[in-house]
Amino acid sequence: MPVFFIAAQQVQNGTVTITGPLLGHLRTSLRIQVGETIWLGDERRRRYLIEVTRIGRHDMAGCVLEAQEGPTPSGPTVTVGQALLKGDRMDWVIQKATELGVAALVPLMTAHTVVRPRTIRLAPQQERWQRIALEAAQQAERWEVPTVSAPWEPSKFFKVQSPAALKLILSARGPGQTLASIPLPCGPESLVVIAVGPEGGWTSEELAQALECGFLPVTLGNRILRAETATLAALSVLQSRLGELG
């Protein structure tokens, strides 16, 4: 069963109180009964095995049977700047990137981006993306939920990544080292950022902005991949080299 996320404040003196959407999911979709056990996790990277003791109309209560501390992170965290994709492909990338262990995902409104959400839709869309990340993190039994931001302009994204130990921009046809060969940082204090463009690729201006901000162009070889495929391929290579995938 997945690990469901709650706020740390919901755990008090060995008792957990569950409300909101999670209550509805556990009670209605999973039909959890009194006496059953479930795993919960919080933002402090702690997990709790609880036994459900009461199910009410507005809340569910359980007693903590076991508590676990999350393992200490050993490698760099990964942030992805992802050009907005049309249809359900953006949802799919967020889901799979979460499963592959990203710490954050920033949608980018590039020059060649086809989909441009209206301002009135930005907040609901971000909430939806964050919910997709939450559900994927629960299913993958992650210790934390990645953050998904509202869409940014690429120039802003490139500029704010200055603290990152390594900043990469995926370029299908331009020069650059392969992602499999570029040296990677080590240690949990390090941050690796990778930017992935849209189907039409980066404009020369966007690429110049990235290079000016210290991004290094990298490739995945000679194959031309769809944008969502490139993201998942790049993350798989990165996480394998960082020791997060066997």
- What pTM did the predictor assign? 0.89
Residue 106: C-alpha distances to residues 35, 84, 216 (Å): 41, 9, 18
Residue 65: C-alpha distances to residues 13, 71, 81, 98 (Å): 12, 20, 40, 28
Whether 49 and 21 have beta carbons less than 8 Å apart is answered as no
What length is written for the chain? 246
What pLDDT score does 246 carry?
65
Which residue from 240, 228, 234 is spatially nearest to 107, judged by alpha carbons? 228
Q: What are phi and psi of 128, to 5 degrees?
A: -65, -45
**Cα separation, 143 vs 41, whole angstroms:** 7
pLDDT in tens, the chain (246 residues): 789 999 999 999 999 999 999 999 999 999 999 999 999 999 999 999 999 999 998 999 999 999 999 998 888 999 999 999 987 999 999 999 999 999 999 999 999 887 777 777 778 899 999 999 999 999 999 999 999 999 999 999 999 998 899 999 998 766 678 898 999 998 888 999 999 999 888 999 999 999 999 999 998 887 778 889 999 999 999 999 988 876
**Cα separation, 1 vs 132, whole angstroms:** 17
| Domains, the chain | 3-69 (2.40.240.20), 77-241 (3.40.1280.10)
| Crossing angle of the two packed helices 227-241 and 89-99, in degrees rounded to 10 | 10
What pLDDT score does 87 carry?
79
- What DSSP character marks residue 149? P
**Cα separation, 106 vs 79, whole angstroms:** 8
Which residue from 25, 61, 23, 232 is spatially nearest to 139, judged by alpha carbons? 25
- DSSP reduced 3-state for 33: coil
